[in-house]
Chains A and B, each alone.
Chain A
Amino acid sequence: MDAFLTRDERRFREEIRDVIGRILPPDLARATRRGIHLSREQMALWNRLLHEKGWGAHHWPVEFGGPGWTPVQRFIFESECARADAPPTSVFGLYLVGPTLYTFGTEAQKARYLPPILSGDEFWCQGYSEPDAGSDLASLRTVAERTEGGWVITGQKAWTTEGHFADFMICLARTNAAVKPQAGLSLFIIDMKSPGITLHPVLTIDGGHSVNTVFLDGVTVPDDALIGDVDKGWTYAKFLLAHERTNNAQVHRSRREFERLKARFTGERRTDPGLRRRFALVETDLAALEVTVLRILIDQTQGREPGPEASIVKVIGSELQQTISELAMDVLGERALELPHDTADDEAAGWTERHLFRRVVTIYAGTNEIQKTIIAGTTLGLR
C-alpha cells in the first residue's frame, strides 16, 4: 500500500516499528500467536507499555489523552502493532466506552473513567445483548427502575465478552415501557462488584472462555451512573456500534496472519494448484480491503465525511477473516485437527483456535445479514 502513503507517513512507520520492536515483550508476542483469548494481565501489560509512550488510546482526541495522530497514522500504527504480533488491546474500554463517555458523558464521568481506560488499569464489558435480544436489540427486557438517589437494574445479559474480568459494564436497560421499544432505553455504568451480579461462563466452540451470561438481580447504581439523558440510550448505543464497525474490518490482523500463513505454506503442499489459487485470491481481497479502509481514512484525514463505502468493511473484513483461517486449516492439514491446548505446535494451536472462534465475526457487532440489510436500505436506497 506504499503508493498511498506520503514520505512523512513512511518515516512515521519506521519510527513506530522501531519503538514497538523495543517495547513489546517477546513472550507477549508469542502468546498472541498462540491463541485468541488473552488474559487481562497480558492485555493490561501491553496497554500500559503503550500508555507510557502516550499511545494508550491512539484513536482518542488529544484532550482525552490521544496522541493526535491523523487517521492514516492510526492505520499505520495498527498495522505495525499487528505486524509485531502485539496483543490486541481490549475493545470495550478503548473503542466503545471511551468514545461514548467523551462524547456523551459528564465532566465527572470523563475524569473518573477515562484515565484508567487509557492506562489499562480498568477493564470494561458491554451489556447489550440478551437471550431474546440479539440482532433485535431494541426488544431487550432488562429494566432500570428509579429509586431514591439511583436506579435498580434487573435482567439478564448475554454474550458478555470479558465480563469475568471487567471492572465495569456499560449496560443498556429499559427505563420507559410506555413508548416504542427504541425510545425507552437508557445507558448505565455498572460496577461489576455490585451486589446482585452473578456470572456464568459460556464456552465457545474453540473451547475457550471469553464470553459470559450475566444476571443482574436488583443491582443498585447511583444517579451519576446514567450516561447522557434518560431514554436516549438507543441513540448512544447506535453511535457506539458505528465505532465498532471500522475496527471490525480487522484488516491488519488479517494481513499479519496471512503473511505468517505464507511462511508456513511449505513442503509439497506449496505446489498444490488449488491452494495456490486460494492464496492469490486472498491476496487480492486483502489488498482491496486495505485500500477500502485507507479510502475511508484518507477522506477523514482530509476532513471529508466517509463515503458510503464505510458501510461495507465489516461485511468484507469479517468474511475475509474466515476465508483466511479456512485456508490455514487446509494448509496445516492434520495438525489443525489437534485440540489446541494439547498440541505442541504453537502456530497450529493459534490457527485452530482462531478458526473455530472466528465463526463469530460474521455474527457479532451486527450480523452480516443485518449489515447487508443496512447497505441495501441506507446506502443503496432500495425500498
Chain B
Amino acid sequence: MRRDAERLAEDTMLRDSVRAFLAERSPWTHVPRTAADLDGIRAEAAELGWFMMGLPEAAGGVGSDLEQVLSVIEEAGRALHPEPLVADLLLAPAVLPADRPELGQLAEGGLRFCYVRAGVTAVRTGSDEIALKGTGGLALGADRATHAIVAVDEDEPALFLVPLSPGRARTVRLIDGRTAARIAFDDIASQDVLVLARGPAARDKIAALDDLAVSAAVFDAVGALAGGLELTVDYLNQRRQFGQTLGSFQAVRHKMAEVYCSLETLRSLAMWSAAAIAANAPERATAARAAKIGLAVHGLPAAGKMIQVSGGIGVTEEYRIGHVYKRLTVAAGLDGSAEAKIEELASEILGEGEKAR
C-alpha cells in the first residue's frame, strides 16, 4: 500500500499490460476453452515473464514483489481467465528451494503446479522411505498439473513435491469453467517424492501457503467482482424500461452502492492479508481468515445483487455477470468453507467457548 512514485508507475504499467494482454488473448466467452487454446495463451504469458515474477532472483526472478504478483492474479480474475495461476505464480516459488531445476522450467511456463491440501497422509516405509496414502481434496488445475505440492498436516506435518504423470487424475469440470481434480497418491513411488519440509518447519510453511492461497483467491475474486461492477454499470446506463435507464431508479442505484461498499470491503481485507503476508506479521492468519469470510459474506452476495439488478439477462449463460457469481462461488467453496473460518475466527477472538468462570 505504501509505494513510492517509481514503484507505483511500475505497478500501473504491469497492471495495464496484463489487462491488455488478457483482453486481447483471453476475451471472455461462455464457451469452455480448449486445452490447446489455454496452452497458447500460457506460452505467450511465459514470454511476457509472468512465471518469473514470483521467483527469487537467484532462480531467474525479476524482482517483483507480492503486491505485483497479486495484481496479475486480480487481473486474471477480472478477465475470468480460466487458467489457474496461483500455484505457479505464488505457491511453488514460495516453497521450492532456489536451486531446484523445476523453477527454471516453471519460469519458461513448462510446468504446472497444483496445491493439494487435504486428504493425504504420509507413511514411513523404511528408514528414509516415505509413502503417500489417500486421495487429495479438490484442487484447482490438478487435472493438468505436472507437479503437486502436497501438504500433510497431521501429527508429523510434512510438505512434499510430487511429480505427476499425465492423465493420472480425472478432470472435474467446475461450475465456473475452470477445471480441477482429486489426485490419488497411493501408487506413487517414494523415490519420486521430494520432501520440501518436515516437522514444525513444515507446519509453518503449510500455514504460510494456506494464507497465501486464500489471499490470492480473494484477489482473484476482487478482480472478478470489479470487472462485473464495470459491466453492470454500463448495462444499467444503457438498458431502458419505463422510458428511463435502469441506472436512474433509486432502488437499483442503492443496491449498486451497496455492491460497491462490498467490493471495497473485500478489497481492504485482501490488501490486509497481502500486507500481513509480506511483513510475515503475527496477524497473518487472522487476516487470511477474515478475507475468506469477507469473500463469502460480502463478495458473493454482491455478485448476486448484480445478477438481480441486471434482470433476466443476468441468469443467462451467454452473459458474463452470472459467471462472476460462479467464479466467486467456487472461490468461497474451495479449501474449506467460510463457515469454518467464521468459527475459527470466533475461537481466536473469544477463546474456545468453554464456560468461563
Residue numbers of A with Cβ under 8 A of B are: 1-4, 6, 262, 265-268, 270-271, 276-277, 279-281, 283-285, 287-289, 291-292, 294-295, 298, 302, 309, 312, 315-316, 369, 371-373, 375-377, 379-383
Contact = CB atoms under 8 A, between A and B. Distances in A.
A382 B253 contact: yes
Interface residues of B, number: 54
Nearest to B344: A280
Contacts of B256: 376, 380, 382
B354 interface: yes
A3 B287 contact: yes
B2 to A, nearest CB: 6
Nearest to A315: B261
Contact of A276 (B266, B281, B353): B353
B354 A266 contact: no
B160 interface: no
B261 A316 contact: yes
Contact of A280 (B2, B265, B284, B342): B342
**Main SS of chain B's interface residues?**
helix
Interface of B: 1-3, 229, 233, 236-237, 245, 247-248, 250, 252-254, 256-258, 260-261, 264-269, 271-272, 275-276, 278-279, 281-284, 286-287, 290, 293-294, 297-298, 342-343, 345-346, 349-351, 353-357
Nearest to B244: A383
A292 to B, nearest CB: 5
Q: Which 9 A-B pairs have the closest CB atoms?
A: A376-B253, A372-B257, A382-B247, A291-B268, A375-B257, A3-B275, A276-B346, A3-B281, A280-B345
21 contacts: A2-B283, A3-B275, A3-B284, A262-B350, A271-B355, A276-B350, A279-B346, A283-B349, A285-B265, A287-B272, A288-B265, A291-B269, A292-B264, A295-B268, A295-B271, A312-B261, A316-B261, A316-B265, A373-B254, A375-B260, A380-B229
Contact of A266 (B233, B265, B346, B357): B357
Contact of A380 (B257, B293, B298): B257
Given A4-B2, A276-B350, A288-B290, 20 more contacts: A3-B276, A3-B278, A3-B279, A3-B287, A266-B357, A267-B356, A270-B351, A271-B355, A276-B343, A279-B349, A280-B293, A280-B342, A281-B293, A284-B269, A284-B290, A288-B268, A291-B269, A315-B261, A376-B253, A382-B247
B351 to A, nearest CB: 7
Contacts of B286: 287
Contacts of A294: 1
Given A266-B357, A271-B353, A382-B236, A280 B245 contact: no
A277 B297 CA distance: 12
A165 to B, nearest CB: 36
